[in-house]
Each structure stands twice: as structure tokens, then as C-alpha cells.
């Protein structure tokens, strides 16, 4: 399990805790986390070459607190609190509170599934990324998720209007209720309802999300759908903006290589702008210390987005210094159609796109788990 969590960027291990015996099982509280920082060289950012330190790129940087209390008959109370921050300045992620990454509490039972309430990710993250159906976590993390010359998509509360437009790098749903079934012969499914955070909750400001997964031996597949009704548009005007996103993906684990394929599509139903993305890639565990992840993304918008498209190639070579710490080198390259400007995900800001159709990032970094 720990190895899988490292691959998807949520690796954690027990650093400390309190426990007391209850019948045959133990209640527990765990402190865990992940730290990632490095130096990135950007070939063209607003018509300028730049070096900068970036935190939380290959994997997010956060500290978490989670625990369980066993109630008997296979039922337990669970909670999870995660605070994401930038290592280079120690500040929390803009727009997030102290536990803005995750804040949930709920019940879990091996026979009946899991029910949680709070601030939590939707099923585009759970069924596609966390389940190993996206190559992005192993191929480079935040820089490799879908982005490009699609600002006209106009997603509210989005740094560029289309950053991580398919939500697979993890988008929170506030004030939500989420249910996930137990594993039934390899199948699992889930549903989530977010009551929104605006003044018109449940009518003009709500989220619906569904997911389904299948796992058998080395093969796995997943599908997800998320529909968000924002109470404002991208200009923060009080106009309802419905954004619909869906995706399907699969993976297969060979002896040393895991291959993935993913397809996603997002539509702004108010302005009819739509973009789809296709990704293929994988991760090669060369030996116990060396690993290579790589992927290729192709994204294309419809007529409302001027039929802009983007090709992107991603790769990360990592070396494990220990069971908890690794160093890595990344290379990301995006090329768009000639009338568009390249814009790699993770470069947040109105002036961070390239001044040309090309943009590349070279990065070296270090990641540690606790």
C-alpha cells in the first residue's frame, strides 16, 4: 500500500501516535506527511527565461492527521485533516485554510462501505488518479496534468480559467457528503454531493460526482463524472456557470512496468466551450532505487476555444536515497498550434504562459515522506 501511495503522490507513514486497546483492535491517531521542493528552469514564461523554486510539484507538500476509533461489529469512526503548504515560504496554498486540502470525518465498515462528510476530493481524483489510471503522478506530477491555451473555458475560481481543467490533480468539494461502496468481486463505486459554499446552496451552487472502479490482478480500470454548478462566472459575476467533466482510464502492471491510458473531457455549459484530453504513459521500476516515469498528453478545444490544441511530453527520473527520500530530475515540453501560446499546468498566473507556441520546464528536486 505504501508503495502505491508514493506513486500517486500521497505516500505516508506513521510518524507518531497514540493508541489504546479496544477488544481485539486498537484505536489510533497518526501524524503523516510529504515534502517536495526543487528548482525549476522555465524556457519562456511571459517572454522571459526564469529560474524559480517550486514546492509541491512532483507530489504535494502537506502534513496530515488521521485517526480511527473502533465501535465494534466492524464499524469505525474515521477522520482525516490535511494542510498543504509551500516549503519555500511556509505559507498555506493560496485560497485554502489551514486544513484546506482535506477535512473530513465519517464512518467505515468492511461490509457496508465508507460515508464521510466535510471538505474532500471528488471522484475524478479517486477513480482516475488515486486508482492508478493516470500516468501524471509518475511522469512529473503537477506540471503534467492537463493545461494549455484554453483560458476561454472560463472555470470560476481557477488561476488561468483552465488549470487542471479535468480535476485529476485533485480538486476539493466543500460541504460535501460522500459514500463509497466496499470492494465487491473487484468492483467498487461511489457518489458525492457538495452543498456548495455560496449564498444559494443546493440550487445555484452545488457539486455532483460519481465514480466506478474495477480491479482484477494486474489490471485496473475506472470511470468518473463530476458536475459543478458555480454561483458565479469566471469574472466573479453572479451568473450560474455549470462545468461538466468526465473521464475513463485503465492501467496494467507488468513485472517492472505499469502502463496507463486516460481520456477526459470538460465542458462549460454556459459558454459551450469544451476541451478533451488523451494521455498514455507509464512507470518503469528499473531496479529498487531507480525509476523512470513518462507520458504523452494531447488536448484539443472546440470551436469556442478556436480549436486550439496542445501536445505535451513529460518525464521524470528518480533515485531513492532511502525508503523515505528520493531525488529526481524532470523534463516537461509543450507545443501548441501556431496561433496559440503554450501554458504548462502549475505555472499559475495571467502572465505565466509562453509568448510563443513552445514552453519547457527542467527541474531537479527532492521528496521525503514522514
CATH code of the domain covering residue 28 = 2.40.160.10
Give the residue numbers spanning the domain of 125: 2-369
Query: For 53, phi and psi rounded to 5 degrees?
Result: -85, 140
Query: For 160, phi and psi rounded to 5 degrees?
Result: -120, 0
- State how far the alpha carbon of 145 is from the alpha carbons of 112, 134, 225, 296, 319, in Å: 34, 9, 17, 11, 22
pLDDT in single tens digits along all 370 residues of the chain: 333 333 334 333 323 333 333 344 788 999 999 999 999 999 999 999 999 999 999 999 999 999 999 999 999 999 999 999 999 888 888 778 899 999 999 999 999 999 999 999 999 999 999 999 999 999 999 999 999 999 999 999 998 999 999 999 999 999 999 999 999 999 999 999 999 775 555 567 899 999 999 999 999 999 999 999 999 998 899 899 999 999 999 999 999 999 999 999 999 999 999 999 999 999 999 999 999 999 999 999 999 999 999 999 999 999 999 999 999 999 999 999 999 999 999 987 768 999 999 999 999 999 999 9
- What single-letter DSSP state applies at residue 92? B
**Rounded distance, CA 278 to CA 265, Å?**
9
Q: Mind giving me the DSSP string for 178-244?
A: EEEPPPBTTEEEEEEEE--SSTTBTTTBEEEEEEEEEEETTEEEEEEEEEEEESS-TT--S--EEEE
pTM above 0.75, yes or no: yes
Q: Is 3 helix (H, G, I), strand (E, B) or coil?
A: helix
pLDDT per residue as tens digits for the range 136-147: 999 999 999 999
Q: Can you give the pLDDT at residue 228?
A: 97
Q: Is 272 helix (H, G, I), strand (E, B) or coil?
A: coil
Query: For 141, phi and psi rounded to 5 degrees?
Result: 75, -135
Q: Can you give the pLDDT at residue 203?
A: 61
Q: Can you give the pLDDT at residue 16?
A: 37
Q: Which three cell numbers stand for residue 99?
A: 486544513
Q: Can you give the pLDDT at residue 196?
A: 79
Q: Can you give the pLDDT at residue 253?
A: 97
Q: Exposed, middle or buried: residue 327 (CB in 10 Å: 0-12, 13-18, 19+)?
A: middle
Residue showing cell 463530476: 226
Q: Is 42 helix (H, G, I), strand (E, B) or coil?
A: strand
**Rounded distance, CA 299 to CA 320, Å?**
33
How many structural domains compose the chain? 1
**Rounded distance, CA 370 to CA 358, Å?**
37
Q: Can you give the pLDDT at residue 1?
A: 38
Q: Which helix (H) or strand (E) holds 7?
A: helix 2-8
Q: Mind giving me the DSSP string for 107-162?
A: EEETTTEEEEEEEEE-HIIIIIIITT--SHHHHTGGGGSS-SS-GGG--TT-SSSS
Amino acid at each position: 500500500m505504501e508503495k502505491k501511495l508514493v506513486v500517486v503522490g500521497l505516500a505516508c507513514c506513521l510518524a507518531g501516535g497514540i493508541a489504546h486497546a479496544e477488544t481485539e483492535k486498537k484505536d489510533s491517531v497518526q501524524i503523516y506527511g510529504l515534502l517536495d521542493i526543487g528548482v525549476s528552469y522555465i524556457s519562456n514564461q511571459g517572454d522571459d527565461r526564469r529560474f524559480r523554486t517550486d514546492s509541491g510539484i512532483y507530489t504535494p507538500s502537506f502534513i496530515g492527521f488521521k485517526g480511527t476509533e473502533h465501535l465494534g461489529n466492524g464499524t469505525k469512526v474515521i477522520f482525516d485533516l490535511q494542510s498543504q503548504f509551500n516549503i519555500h515560504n511556509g505559507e498555506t496554498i493560496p485560497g485554502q485554510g489551514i486544513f484546506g486540502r482535506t477535512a473530513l470525518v465519517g464512518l467505515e465498515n468492511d461490509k457496508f462501505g465508507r460515508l464521510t462528510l466535510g471538505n474532500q476530493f471528488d471522484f475524478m481524483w479517486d477513480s482516475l488518479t488515486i486508482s492508478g489510471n493516470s500516468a501524471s503522478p509518475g511522469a512529473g506530477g503537477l506540471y503534467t496534468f492537463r493545461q494549455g491555451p484554453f483560458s476561454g473555458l472560463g472555470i470560476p475560481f481557477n488561476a488561468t480559467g483552465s488549470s487542471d481543467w479535468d480535476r485529476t490533480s485533485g480538486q476539493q468539494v466543500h460541504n460535501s457528503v460522500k459514500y463509497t461502496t466496499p470492494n465487491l468481486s473487484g468492483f467498487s463505486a461511489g457518489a458525492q454531493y457538495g452543498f456548495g459554499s455560496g449564498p444559494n446552496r443546493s440550487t445555484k451552487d452545488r457539486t455532483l460526482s460519481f465514480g466506478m472502479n474495477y480491479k482484477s490482478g494486474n489490471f485496473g480500470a475506472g470511470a468518473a463524472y463530476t458536475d459543478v454548478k458555480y454561483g458565479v462566472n469566471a469574472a466573479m459575476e453572479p451568473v450560474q456557470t455549470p462545468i461538466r467533466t468526465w473521464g475513463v482510464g485503465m492501467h496494467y502492471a507488468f513485472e517492472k512496468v505499469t502502463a496507463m491510458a486516460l481520456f477526459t473531457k470538460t465542458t462549460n455549459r454556459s459558454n459551450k466551450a469544451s476541451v478533451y484530453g488523451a494521455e498514455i504513459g507509464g512507470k518503469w521500476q528499473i531496479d529498487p532505487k531507480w525509476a523512470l516515469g513518462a507520458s504523452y498528453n494531447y488536448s484539443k478545444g472546440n470551436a469556442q476555444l478556436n480549436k486550439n490544441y496542445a501536445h505535451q511530453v513529460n518525464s521524470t527520473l528518480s533515485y531513492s536515497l532511502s525508503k523515505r527520500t528520493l531525488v529526481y530530475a524532470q523534463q516537461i515540453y509543450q507545443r501548441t498550434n501556431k496561433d496559440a501560446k503554450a501554458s504548462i499546468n502549475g505555472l499559475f498566473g495571467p502572465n505565466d504562459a509562453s509568448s510563443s507556441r513552445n514552453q519547457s520546464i527542467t527541474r531537479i528536486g527532492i521528496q521525503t515522506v514522514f
